[in-house]
Structure 1
Amino acid sequence: MRPKATALLVDLDGTLRRWDPEVIHGIEAAHDLKRGSLYVAAMDWSRLMPAIIGDITHDEWAEVIAADLADQTGDPDRAAAAVKEWESYRGTVEPGLLELIREARAAGIKVGLATNATDLLDTDLRTLGLTDEFDAVINSSDLHIPKPAPEYFGAACLALGTPPNRVLFVDDSARFVYGARAAGLSAHRWTGPSDLSYIRAALDL
Protein backbone atom coordinates (compact mmCIF):
# COMPACT_ATOMS: atom_id res chain seq x y z
CA MET A 1 0.00 0.00 0.00
CA ARG A 2 1.29 3.46 -0.91
CA PRO A 3 1.15 6.04 1.89
CA LYS A 4 -1.47 8.76 1.55
CA ALA A 5 -0.37 11.74 -0.53
CA THR A 6 0.48 14.79 1.55
CA ALA A 7 1.35 17.07 -1.37
CA LEU A 8 -0.18 17.82 -4.75
CA LEU A 9 1.51 18.77 -8.03
CA VAL A 10 -0.75 20.22 -10.71
CA ASP A 11 0.00 20.85 -14.36
CA LEU A 12 -0.99 24.18 -15.93
CA ASP A 13 -1.81 23.90 -19.64
CA GLY A 14 -4.64 21.53 -20.41
CA THR A 15 -5.26 20.95 -16.71
CA LEU A 16 -5.59 24.08 -14.56
CA ARG A 17 -5.58 26.37 -17.59
CA ARG A 18 -8.08 25.73 -20.37
CA TRP A 19 -7.63 26.84 -23.96
CA ASP A 20 -10.69 27.29 -26.17
CA PRO A 21 -9.70 26.01 -29.63
CA GLU A 22 -12.44 28.08 -31.24
CA VAL A 23 -10.80 31.28 -30.04
CA ILE A 24 -7.56 30.23 -31.71
CA HIS A 25 -9.34 29.12 -34.88
CA GLY A 26 -11.05 32.50 -34.95
CA ILE A 27 -7.67 34.23 -34.89
CA GLU A 28 -6.48 32.03 -37.74
CA ALA A 29 -9.58 32.80 -39.78
CA ALA A 30 -9.23 36.54 -39.15
CA HIS A 31 -5.71 36.44 -40.58
CA ASP A 32 -6.45 34.02 -43.43
CA LEU A 33 -4.36 31.27 -41.91
CA LYS A 34 -5.04 27.59 -42.34
CA ARG A 35 -7.05 26.13 -39.45
CA GLY A 36 -4.68 24.60 -36.92
CA SER A 37 -1.58 26.28 -38.32
CA LEU A 38 -0.83 28.29 -35.18
CA TYR A 39 -0.84 25.18 -33.00
CA VAL A 40 1.31 23.22 -35.44
CA ALA A 41 3.86 26.04 -35.71
CA ALA A 42 4.00 26.66 -31.97
CA MET A 43 4.08 23.05 -30.77
CA ASP A 44 6.71 21.78 -33.18
CA TRP A 45 9.17 20.25 -30.71
CA SER A 46 12.25 21.73 -32.39
CA ARG A 47 10.78 25.20 -31.76
CA LEU A 48 9.10 24.57 -28.43
CA MET A 49 11.89 22.75 -26.61
CA PRO A 50 14.38 25.67 -26.56
CA ALA A 51 11.68 27.93 -25.11
CA ILE A 52 10.60 25.57 -22.32
CA ILE A 53 14.15 24.82 -21.20
CA GLY A 54 15.11 28.48 -21.14
CA ASP A 55 17.53 28.49 -24.07
CA ILE A 56 15.42 31.18 -25.77
CA THR A 57 12.90 33.66 -24.40
CA HIS A 58 9.17 33.57 -24.97
CA ASP A 59 9.49 36.55 -27.32
CA GLU A 60 12.17 34.76 -29.34
CA TRP A 61 9.93 31.69 -29.56
CA ALA A 62 7.10 33.88 -30.86
CA GLU A 63 9.41 35.31 -33.51
CA VAL A 64 10.29 31.79 -34.68
CA ILE A 65 6.59 30.90 -34.90
CA ALA A 66 5.87 34.05 -36.92
CA ALA A 67 8.76 33.32 -39.24
CA ASP A 68 7.45 29.81 -39.90
CA LEU A 69 3.97 31.13 -40.67
CA ALA A 70 5.47 33.81 -42.91
CA ASP A 71 7.25 31.10 -44.89
CA GLN A 72 3.91 29.34 -45.34
CA THR A 73 1.90 32.42 -46.29
CA GLY A 74 4.49 34.63 -47.94
CA ASP A 75 3.17 37.52 -45.81
CA PRO A 76 5.38 38.37 -42.80
CA ASP A 77 3.11 41.18 -41.60
CA ARG A 78 0.03 38.94 -41.55
CA ALA A 79 1.93 36.20 -39.75
CA ALA A 80 3.29 38.61 -37.13
CA ALA A 81 -0.17 40.09 -36.52
CA ALA A 82 -1.68 36.62 -36.09
CA VAL A 83 0.96 35.57 -33.57
CA LYS A 84 0.55 38.83 -31.63
CA GLU A 85 -3.21 38.32 -31.36
CA TRP A 86 -2.74 34.64 -30.47
CA GLU A 87 -0.37 35.62 -27.65
CA SER A 88 -2.91 38.07 -26.25
CA TYR A 89 -5.22 35.13 -25.48
CA ARG A 90 -4.04 33.58 -22.21
CA GLY A 91 -6.79 31.01 -21.61
CA THR A 92 -9.04 30.60 -18.59
CA VAL A 93 -8.78 28.83 -15.24
CA GLU A 94 -10.63 25.59 -14.51
CA PRO A 95 -12.69 26.77 -11.50
CA GLY A 96 -13.34 23.38 -9.91
CA LEU A 97 -9.66 22.48 -9.84
CA LEU A 98 -8.73 25.87 -8.41
CA GLU A 99 -11.31 25.35 -5.68
CA LEU A 100 -9.75 21.96 -4.90
CA ILE A 101 -6.27 23.52 -4.72
CA ARG A 102 -7.52 26.07 -2.21
CA GLU A 103 -9.28 23.35 -0.23
CA ALA A 104 -6.10 21.25 -0.17
CA ARG A 105 -3.93 24.11 1.05
CA ALA A 106 -6.47 25.00 3.72
CA ALA A 107 -6.20 21.39 4.92
CA GLY A 108 -2.40 21.69 5.22
CA ILE A 109 -1.56 19.93 1.94
CA LYS A 110 1.26 21.58 0.00
CA VAL A 111 0.41 22.34 -3.62
CA GLY A 112 2.89 22.97 -6.41
CA LEU A 113 2.43 24.04 -10.01
CA ALA A 114 4.45 21.74 -12.27
CA THR A 115 4.66 23.05 -15.81
CA ASN A 116 6.73 23.10 -18.96
CA ALA A 117 6.59 26.84 -19.55
CA THR A 118 8.53 29.76 -20.98
CA ASP A 119 9.81 32.80 -19.14
CA LEU A 120 6.32 34.31 -19.53
CA LEU A 121 4.98 32.10 -16.73
CA ASP A 122 5.11 34.69 -13.93
CA THR A 123 3.22 37.16 -16.12
CA ASP A 124 0.66 34.50 -17.02
CA LEU A 125 0.08 33.64 -13.37
CA ARG A 126 -0.57 37.31 -12.61
CA THR A 127 -2.93 37.59 -15.60
CA LEU A 128 -4.85 34.50 -14.50
CA GLY A 129 -4.95 35.56 -10.84
CA LEU A 130 -2.92 32.55 -9.74
CA THR A 131 0.17 34.20 -8.26
CA ASP A 132 -0.61 33.32 -4.63
CA GLU A 133 -2.28 29.95 -5.18
CA PHE A 134 0.77 27.65 -4.81
CA ASP A 135 3.38 26.74 -2.27
CA ALA A 136 5.91 26.21 -5.07
CA VAL A 137 6.10 26.84 -8.82
CA ILE A 138 8.30 24.47 -10.80
CA ASN A 139 8.94 25.90 -14.25
CA SER A 140 10.98 23.92 -16.75
CA SER A 141 12.55 27.07 -18.22
CA ASP A 142 13.96 27.94 -14.78
CA LEU A 143 15.25 24.40 -14.21
CA HIS A 144 16.44 23.98 -17.82
CA ILE A 145 14.87 20.52 -17.56
CA PRO A 146 11.40 19.63 -18.88
CA LYS A 147 8.80 17.14 -17.80
CA PRO A 148 8.88 14.13 -17.84
CA ALA A 149 12.58 13.94 -16.94
CA PRO A 150 13.09 12.30 -13.54
CA GLU A 151 15.27 15.25 -12.52
CA TYR A 152 12.29 17.53 -13.06
CA PHE A 153 10.11 15.52 -10.70
CA GLY A 154 12.94 15.26 -8.20
CA ALA A 155 13.25 19.04 -8.16
CA ALA A 156 9.49 19.39 -7.76
CA CYS A 157 9.44 17.09 -4.73
CA LEU A 158 12.34 18.99 -3.18
CA ALA A 159 10.50 22.27 -3.74
CA LEU A 160 7.53 20.85 -1.84
CA GLY A 161 9.75 19.30 0.85
CA THR A 162 7.92 16.01 0.32
CA PRO A 163 9.23 12.57 -0.70
CA PRO A 164 8.03 11.32 -4.10
CA ASN A 165 5.85 8.55 -2.68
CA ARG A 166 3.82 11.15 -0.79
CA VAL A 167 3.17 13.39 -3.84
CA LEU A 168 0.16 13.15 -6.17
CA PHE A 169 0.79 14.56 -9.65
CA VAL A 170 -2.11 15.57 -11.93
CA ASP A 171 -1.54 16.23 -15.64
CA ASP A 172 -3.49 15.87 -18.88
CA SER A 173 -0.53 14.22 -20.67
CA ALA A 174 -0.28 10.44 -20.43
CA ARG A 175 3.46 10.64 -21.14
CA PHE A 176 4.02 12.99 -18.22
CA VAL A 177 1.87 10.86 -15.93
CA TYR A 178 3.94 7.78 -16.80
CA GLY A 179 7.12 9.78 -16.23
CA ALA A 180 5.96 10.86 -12.79
CA ARG A 181 5.12 7.30 -11.83
CA ALA A 182 8.56 6.15 -13.00
CA ALA A 183 10.04 8.80 -10.70
CA GLY A 184 8.13 7.37 -7.74
CA LEU A 185 5.16 9.73 -7.55
CA SER A 186 1.51 8.82 -7.60
CA ALA A 187 -0.03 10.29 -10.74
CA HIS A 188 -3.45 10.77 -12.26
CA ARG A 189 -4.27 11.76 -15.83
CA TRP A 190 -6.62 14.74 -15.91
CA THR A 191 -9.57 14.37 -18.27
CA GLY A 192 -11.80 17.10 -16.85
CA PRO A 193 -13.85 18.17 -13.83
CA SER A 194 -15.21 14.64 -13.42
CA ASP A 195 -11.77 13.76 -11.99
CA LEU A 196 -12.16 16.09 -9.01
CA SER A 197 -13.87 13.51 -6.80
CA TYR A 198 -11.01 11.05 -7.36
CA ILE A 199 -8.36 13.66 -6.51
CA ARG A 200 -10.23 14.69 -3.37
CA ALA A 201 -10.45 11.07 -2.27
CA ALA A 202 -6.76 10.48 -2.98
CA LEU A 203 -5.90 13.46 -0.79
CA ASP A 204 -8.45 12.47 1.86
CA LEU A 205 -10.21 15.81 1.55
Structure 2
Amino acid sequence: MAASATGIAAVLCDLDGVIRHWDRRVTEDMHRRHGLPAGTLEAAAFAPERLLPAVTGAVRDAEWRAAVREALVPVCGSEERARVLVEDWSRHPGRVDEESLALIAEVRARVPVVLVTNATDRLESDLSRLGIAGAFDAIANTSRLGFAKPDARVYAVAAAMAGAPAGRCLFVDDTPANVAAAEAAGMHAALARGAAGLRTALAPLLG
Protein backbone atom coordinates (compact mmCIF):
# COMPACT_ATOMS: atom_id res chain seq x y z
CA MET A 1 0.00 0.00 0.00
CA ALA A 2 1.33 3.43 -0.91
CA ALA A 3 2.86 5.60 1.81
CA SER A 4 1.10 8.78 2.84
CA ALA A 5 2.42 12.26 2.03
CA THR A 6 3.81 12.37 5.58
CA GLY A 7 6.24 9.53 4.89
CA ILE A 8 4.40 7.28 7.32
CA ALA A 9 3.57 4.03 5.57
CA ALA A 10 1.85 2.17 8.42
CA VAL A 11 0.34 2.63 11.86
CA LEU A 12 1.01 0.17 14.67
CA CYS A 13 -1.52 0.71 17.44
CA ASP A 14 -1.98 -0.62 20.95
CA LEU A 15 -5.38 -1.89 22.14
CA ASP A 16 -5.92 -1.35 25.87
CA GLY A 17 -5.98 2.27 26.95
CA VAL A 18 -6.23 3.47 23.36
CA ILE A 19 -9.05 1.58 21.64
CA ARG A 20 -10.41 -0.61 24.45
CA HIS A 21 -11.10 0.61 27.96
CA TRP A 22 -11.92 -1.10 31.22
CA ASP A 23 -14.61 0.72 33.21
CA ARG A 24 -13.26 1.31 36.71
CA ARG A 25 -16.80 1.50 38.05
CA VAL A 26 -17.42 -2.09 36.95
CA THR A 27 -14.40 -3.42 38.84
CA GLU A 28 -15.11 -1.23 41.86
CA ASP A 29 -18.67 -2.56 41.99
CA MET A 30 -17.34 -6.11 41.60
CA HIS A 31 -15.03 -5.65 44.58
CA ARG A 32 -17.88 -4.22 46.68
CA ARG A 33 -20.17 -7.11 45.83
CA HIS A 34 -17.49 -9.59 46.81
CA GLY A 35 -16.55 -7.68 49.96
CA LEU A 36 -12.96 -7.02 48.90
CA PRO A 37 -10.74 -3.92 48.97
CA ALA A 38 -10.48 -2.07 45.65
CA GLY A 39 -7.58 -3.29 43.53
CA THR A 40 -7.47 -6.79 45.02
CA LEU A 41 -8.22 -8.53 41.75
CA GLU A 42 -5.86 -6.38 39.70
CA ALA A 43 -3.01 -7.01 42.13
CA ALA A 44 -3.43 -10.76 41.69
CA ALA A 45 -4.06 -10.75 37.94
CA PHE A 46 -1.37 -8.31 36.86
CA ALA A 47 1.46 -9.44 39.11
CA PRO A 48 4.36 -9.85 36.64
CA GLU A 49 5.05 -13.45 37.63
CA ARG A 50 1.50 -14.37 36.55
CA LEU A 51 0.86 -11.93 33.71
CA LEU A 52 4.09 -12.22 31.72
CA PRO A 53 3.79 -15.97 31.05
CA ALA A 54 0.23 -15.39 29.83
CA VAL A 55 1.07 -12.58 27.39
CA THR A 56 4.09 -14.43 26.00
CA GLY A 57 2.21 -17.67 25.42
CA ALA A 58 4.01 -19.70 28.07
CA VAL A 59 0.61 -20.43 29.63
CA ARG A 60 -2.86 -20.25 28.16
CA ASP A 61 -5.46 -17.72 29.22
CA ALA A 62 -7.39 -20.35 31.16
CA GLU A 63 -4.24 -21.32 33.09
CA TRP A 64 -3.55 -17.68 33.91
CA ARG A 65 -7.06 -17.18 35.26
CA ALA A 66 -6.72 -20.38 37.30
CA ALA A 67 -3.50 -19.01 38.81
CA VAL A 68 -5.27 -15.75 39.61
CA ARG A 69 -8.05 -17.71 41.29
CA GLU A 70 -5.55 -19.63 43.41
CA ALA A 71 -3.81 -16.40 44.44
CA LEU A 72 -7.16 -14.95 45.56
CA VAL A 73 -8.20 -17.88 47.76
CA PRO A 74 -6.47 -16.55 50.92
CA VAL A 75 -7.98 -13.10 50.37
CA CYS A 76 -11.46 -14.34 49.51
CA GLY A 77 -11.50 -16.90 52.30
CA SER A 78 -12.52 -19.87 50.18
CA GLU A 79 -11.92 -21.48 46.80
CA GLU A 80 -15.60 -21.01 45.92
CA ARG A 81 -15.57 -17.25 46.56
CA ALA A 82 -12.37 -16.90 44.55
CA ARG A 83 -13.85 -18.92 41.69
CA VAL A 84 -17.01 -16.79 41.56
CA LEU A 85 -14.95 -13.57 41.60
CA VAL A 86 -12.72 -14.66 38.71
CA GLU A 87 -15.71 -15.88 36.70
CA ASP A 88 -17.44 -12.53 37.30
CA TRP A 89 -14.34 -10.67 36.14
CA SER A 90 -13.85 -12.92 33.11
CA ARG A 91 -17.29 -12.14 31.72
CA HIS A 92 -16.28 -8.58 30.84
CA PRO A 93 -14.44 -8.01 27.52
CA GLY A 94 -14.09 -4.25 28.18
CA ARG A 95 -15.65 -1.58 25.99
CA VAL A 96 -14.62 -0.09 22.68
CA ASP A 97 -13.91 3.61 22.35
CA GLU A 98 -16.04 4.30 19.28
CA GLU A 99 -14.26 7.56 18.51
CA SER A 100 -10.89 5.79 18.52
CA LEU A 101 -12.31 3.07 16.29
CA ALA A 102 -13.55 5.69 13.82
CA LEU A 103 -10.08 7.26 13.74
CA ILE A 104 -8.53 3.87 12.99
CA ALA A 105 -11.01 3.34 10.15
CA GLU A 106 -10.19 6.74 8.69
CA VAL A 107 -6.46 6.09 8.79
CA ARG A 108 -6.88 2.61 7.26
CA ALA A 109 -8.13 4.29 4.10
CA ARG A 110 -4.60 5.69 3.70
CA VAL A 111 -2.16 3.19 5.26
CA PRO A 112 -2.29 -0.27 6.86
CA VAL A 113 -3.05 -0.45 10.57
CA VAL A 114 -1.65 -3.29 12.69
CA LEU A 115 -2.95 -3.94 16.20
CA VAL A 116 0.03 -4.56 18.50
CA THR A 117 -0.95 -5.73 21.95
CA ASN A 118 0.36 -7.65 24.94
CA ALA A 119 -2.48 -10.13 25.22
CA THR A 120 -3.38 -13.69 26.10
CA ASP A 121 -4.73 -16.26 23.69
CA ARG A 122 -8.23 -15.00 24.50
CA LEU A 123 -7.61 -11.84 22.46
CA GLU A 124 -9.19 -13.07 19.24
CA SER A 125 -12.32 -14.13 21.11
CA ASP A 126 -12.53 -10.75 22.85
CA LEU A 127 -12.16 -8.87 19.56
CA SER A 128 -15.00 -10.91 18.09
CA ARG A 129 -17.22 -10.26 21.13
CA LEU A 130 -16.49 -6.55 20.82
CA GLY A 131 -17.22 -6.60 17.09
CA ILE A 132 -13.80 -5.28 16.05
CA ALA A 133 -12.04 -8.41 14.78
CA GLY A 134 -11.99 -6.97 11.27
CA ALA A 135 -11.00 -3.43 12.25
CA PHE A 136 -7.28 -3.95 11.55
CA ASP A 137 -5.16 -5.14 8.64
CA ALA A 138 -3.20 -7.50 10.90
CA ILE A 139 -2.94 -8.38 14.59
CA ALA A 140 0.32 -8.85 16.50
CA ASN A 141 -0.83 -10.73 19.60
CA THR A 142 2.22 -11.23 21.80
CA SER A 143 0.98 -14.53 23.21
CA ARG A 144 1.16 -15.88 19.65
CA LEU A 145 4.63 -14.40 19.12
CA GLY A 146 6.26 -15.65 22.32
CA PHE A 147 7.55 -12.24 23.43
CA ALA A 148 5.90 -9.03 24.61
CA LYS A 149 6.34 -5.28 24.37
CA PRO A 150 8.77 -3.64 24.96
CA ASP A 151 10.84 -6.49 23.45
CA ALA A 152 12.37 -5.16 20.21
CA ARG A 153 11.22 -8.27 18.33
CA VAL A 154 7.59 -7.23 18.70
CA TYR A 155 8.22 -4.05 16.73
CA ALA A 156 10.12 -5.88 14.00
CA VAL A 157 7.31 -8.42 13.56
CA ALA A 158 4.61 -5.73 13.55
CA ALA A 159 6.44 -3.70 10.90
CA ALA A 160 6.81 -6.82 8.77
CA MET A 161 3.08 -7.49 9.13
CA ALA A 162 2.43 -3.96 7.92
CA GLY A 163 4.82 -4.38 5.01
CA ALA A 164 6.71 -1.23 5.95
CA PRO A 165 10.23 -0.45 7.16
CA ALA A 166 10.49 0.51 10.82
CA GLY A 167 11.44 4.08 9.97
CA ARG A 168 8.13 4.59 8.17
CA CYS A 169 5.92 3.16 10.90
CA LEU A 170 4.03 5.22 13.46
CA PHE A 171 3.66 3.34 16.75
CA VAL A 172 0.96 4.46 19.22
CA ASP A 173 0.70 3.15 22.78
CA ASP A 174 -0.46 4.29 26.23
CA THR A 175 2.67 3.00 28.03
CA PRO A 176 5.80 5.19 28.01
CA ALA A 177 8.23 2.24 28.06
CA ASN A 178 6.60 0.76 24.95
CA VAL A 179 6.77 4.09 23.14
CA ALA A 180 10.45 4.49 24.07
CA ALA A 181 11.20 1.01 22.75
CA ALA A 182 9.52 1.84 19.44
CA GLU A 183 11.63 4.98 19.14
CA ALA A 184 14.73 2.90 19.88
CA ALA A 185 13.68 0.61 17.02
CA GLY A 186 13.74 3.62 14.69
CA MET A 187 9.99 4.20 14.51
CA HIS A 188 7.92 7.33 14.82
CA ALA A 189 6.16 6.89 18.16
CA ALA A 190 3.50 8.67 20.16
CA LEU A 191 2.05 8.27 23.63
CA ALA A 192 -1.75 8.29 23.51
CA ARG A 193 -4.54 7.52 25.95
CA GLY A 194 -8.04 7.35 24.55
CA ALA A 195 -9.48 9.05 21.50
CA ALA A 196 -8.10 12.53 22.20
CA GLY A 197 -4.54 11.25 22.38
CA LEU A 198 -5.02 9.01 19.37
CA ARG A 199 -6.36 11.89 17.30
CA THR A 200 -3.28 13.95 18.14
CA ALA A 201 -0.96 11.06 17.31
CA LEU A 202 -2.68 10.39 13.98
CA ALA A 203 -3.10 14.05 13.01
CA PRO A 204 -0.58 13.88 10.13
CA LEU A 205 -2.64 11.10 8.54
CA LEU A 206 -6.12 12.47 9.09
CA GLY A 207 -7.98 14.39 6.42
Query: Does the alignment reach a TM-score above 0.5?
Result: yes
Shift of 1:195: 2.2
Amino acid at match of 1:24: T
Quote the Cα distance in structure 2 between the aligned partners of 1:45 and 1:198: 31
1:192 is aligned to 2:186: no
From 47, 69, 72, give the equivalent of 1:69.
Answer: 72
| 1:126 counterpart residue number | 128
1:201 is aligned to 2:167: no
Size of the aligned set, in residue pairs, is 202
Shift of 1:75: 1.1
Quote the Cα distance in structure 1 between the aligned partners of 2:116 and 2:46: 19
SS of equivalent residue, structure 2 residue 120: coil
Q: Which runs of 4+ in 1 moved over 3 A?
A: none
Over the matched positions of the two proteins, sequence identity in percent amounts to 38
Q: 1:102 to 1:32 in 2, by over 3 A?
A: same
Shift of 1:204: 4.9
TM-score (norm 2): 0.94
Alignment of 1:26-65 (within 5 A): 26-65=29-68
Amino acid at match of 1:137: I
TM-score (norm 1): 0.94
Amino acid at match of 1:164: A
1:21 is aligned to 2:24: yes
Quote the Cα distance in structure 2 between the aligned partners of 1:105 and 1:176: 22
**Which is further off, 187-196 or 57-66?**
187-196
Amino acid at match of 1:201: A
Amino acid at match of 1:170: V
Q: 1:82 to 1:102 in 2, by over 3 A?
A: same
Amino acid at match of 2:143: S
| 1:136 counterpart residue number | 138
Quote the Cα distance in structure 2 between the aligned partners of 1:74 and 1:8: 46
Quote the Cα distance in structure 1 between the aligned partners of 2:76 and 2:124: 33
Quote the Cα distance in structure 2 between the aligned partners of 1:197 and 1:156: 21
1:145 is aligned to 2:114: no
Amino acid at match of 1:7: A
Post-superposition Cα deviations, 1:97-140, rounded to whole Å, max 9, x if no partner, equal 11011111123x10000000000011011011111111110010
Quote the Cα distance in structure 1 between the aligned partners of 2:17 and 2:202: 19
From 7, 12, 15, give the equivalent of 2:10.
Answer: 7
| 2:176 counterpart residue number | 174
5+ residue gaps in structure 1?
none
Post-superposition Cα deviations, 1:154-184, rounded to whole Å, max 9, x if no partner, equal 0000111100111111111011111111111
5+ residue gaps in structure 2?
1-5
2:172/2:198 contact within 8 Å kept: no
From 106, 111, 115, give the equivalent of 2:117.
Answer: 115
Shift of 1:198: 2.1
Quote the Cα distance in structure 1 between the aligned partners of 2:7 and 2:203: 10
